Amino acid sequence: MANSNTSSSSSISGKTFSGFGNFVKLLPTATVFIFQFLNPVLTNNGQCSPVNKIFTSILISLCGFSCAFSCFTDSYKGTDGLVQYGIATTNGLWLFSGSGLGSVNLSSYKLRIGDFVHAFFSIIVFAALSLLDINTVRCFYPSFESTVKALLVSCRRLSVQFPVPFSWLSLTAAMG
C-alpha cells in the first residue's frame, strides 16, 4: 500500500515539475542565469540600501527586456554553413550581419502575433520569478515575506492537486 502511495506522489510531483518546466521554457536560459547570479549580489542577500534597490530595479528591468526581446529574434543556417541571427520584422528577418544570404527567403521569418503572445507570457513568467525571489522580497517588500512564502506553498499544493496538462508553448506555436 505504501508503495502505491509513493509511486502516486512521485507521479504527481513529476507532472508538477513537467508543468513548471513548460513555463520556464518561455524564458531565455542566459537571462534567468544572469538574474539568479546577480540578484543576491545586488540585493546584498535581501539587506538592501537605496542604491541596492536602484541596481536591482535596473537588473530586473534589463532582464525583463531581454526576455521580451529574445522572442523577436530568430536564426537560420546560411548557404555558407554558418548560423545567422536576426530580428523578426513585418517584412521578414533583419540580419545582424549581411553575410550568408544566398538563396534563403528571409520574408518567411515575419513577425507574427504569436511572437507578441510569447513575449507577453515571457515577461509575466519572469516577473513572477524575479518578484517572488526571496532576495527581491526581502529588499523591496520585507513585510510580505511570510505572505509570499504562504502563496508559494499554496501554489505548490494546488499544482500538485490539480496538475494542468496544458502547454503555453503549443498555444504560441499554434498562434504563430
Gyration radius of the chain over CA positions: 20
List, edge to edge, every strand of the sheet that includes 83-88: 73-77, 83-88, 93-95
Query: Is 20 within 8 Å of 164 (Cβ atoms)?
Result: no
Residue 65: predicted pLDDT: 95
Which pLDDT value is given to residue 101?
57
Instruction: Let me know the angle formed at the C-alpha of 128 by 89 and 125, rounded to the nearest 5 degrees.
Output: 35
φ and ψ at residue 10, rounded to 5 degrees: -70, -35
Q: Which pLDDT belongs to residue 1? A: 47
Q: What is the pLDDT of residue 13?
A: 44
pLDDT of residue 98: 63
- At residue 100, the pLDDT reads 52
DSSP 44: T
Look at residue 159 in the predicted model and tell me its pLDDT. Answer: 54
85 three-state secondary structure: strand
Whether the CA torsion 59, 61, 63, 65 is positive or negative: it is negative
Taking the chain (176 residues) in consecutive chunks of 10 residues, what is each chunk's mean pLDDT? 46 48 64 92 93 96 93 83 85 75 74 92 89 90 80 64 47 38
pLDDT of residue 97: 72
